Amino acid sequence: MVYLLKGLLYLNYGMATPPSEGEANAELCCYLSSVLEVKKGEAVLDKGAKSCEKVVKILVSMMPDEVLKKLEKEASS
């Protein structure tokens, strides 16, 4: 599920990687960089390293509607 609320995009994503040694966090950033077509280092975990709720920053200039469109396309495939 992907939705926009108060200017922030929310994504409900189930991880296949267990939360061990930050591997799941790395997988999430790698996944988002792939979906959003940015370099791996441009999708970085900002908050929530040890939490189920995470904040990932995208370090390139993208409009929220462009991000939403790419996430929705991935969610529907």
Range of the domain at 69: 2-76
pTM of the predicted structure, to 2 decimals:
0.79
What is the rounded average pLDDT of the residues 1-20? 68
Q: Does pLDDT of 69 surpass 70?
A: yes
CA dihedral 49, 58, 28, 73 (to 10 degrees): 150
Q: Into how many domains does the chain fold?
A: 1
Q: Is the pLDDT of residue 2 over 80?
A: no
pLDDT tens profile 13-65: 776 666 777 788 898 899 999 999 999 999 999 888 888 888 888 899 888 88
pLDDT for the residue numbered 1 = 63
Residue 30 belongs to domain with CATH number: 3.30.1200.10
